[in-house]
Amino acid sequence: MIDFYTWTTPNGRKVSILLEELGVDYEVHPINITQGDQNSPAFLKISPNNKIPAIIDRDNGMSLMESGAILVYLAEKYGRFLPKDSVARAETNEWLMWQMGGFGPILGQAHHFLHFNPGKSDYAESRFRSEVARLYGVLDRRLEGRDYICDDYSIADMACWPWVSRYEWQQVNLADYPNVRSWYQRLLARDAVQKGYHVPKHMGEIPQG
């Protein structure tokens, strides 16, 4: 059993999608970051950086923070969605790290300046709009002729997809990135992706791309 501490964000949805794909038992503990739940002493014991998501594995009592680390841990524990072959594994980790180090953080900044605080900084809006376009271009080129980011559906896809699901916040038209759009809709058709999107609560219709 996995105790899953999360909220309705792309980083949280990475893990809920994986948990649904794995079909393992997990209990959801909503951490309402708009009300400051992430700063409670109880949650800080689990996630010292006061960020969601986090998990506790009841099998061994271990707590773990950071979405990328959680994805790797669960994929290794259950033997799915992370290749055992060293070359394929490195490639999957490469794109997982690309999401963790660039795609997610830059899109998060775009949300801050373009969606939540428009008009506050022309420079910031221009910078992050440009970098968002560059990163979508990287992903679009990677997906040329591919169904998934790597050879098979993996945690790299699960890490990137929830960020793309907020394309409207990023002022992105997915029609400009046809390979990304096809991949996005391909994953959207998966039951586990749809279920994972609505953890810890239902958020209305998922953007269709």
| CATH architecture label of 86-190 | Up-down Bundle (1.20)
Nearest to 179 by CA among 158, 149, 159: 149
**pLDDT tens digits, one per residue of 157-203:** 999 999 999 999 999 999 999 999 999 999 999 999 999 999 999 99
Residues 11 and 38 sit within 8 Å (Cβ to Cβ)? no
Nearest to 148 by CA among 192, 180, 102: 180
Domain borders along the chain are 2-81, 86-190
pLDDT in tens, the chain (209 residues): 999 999 999 999 999 999 999 999 999 999 999 998 999 999 999 999 999 999 999 999 999 999 999 999 999 999 999 999 999 999 999 999 999 999 999 999 999 999 999 999 999 999 999 999 999 999 999 999 999 999 999 999 999 999 999 999 999 999 999 999 999 999 999 999 999 999 999 999 999 99
Give the pLDDT score at 105.
97
- Write out the two tokens for 92: 């999957």
Q: Which residues pair with 6 in a beta bridge?
A: 30
Give the pLDDT score at 167.
97
Give the pLDDT score at 113.
96
Class of domain 2-81: alpha beta
End-to-end CA distance of the chain: 34
Give the pLDDT score at 93.
98
Give the pLDDT score at 149.
98
Give the pLDDT score at 118.
95
Same fold, 2-81 and 86-190: no
Question: How are strands ordered across the β-sheet holding 2-6?
Answer: 26-30, 2-6, 54-57, 62-65
Give the pLDDT score at 178.
98
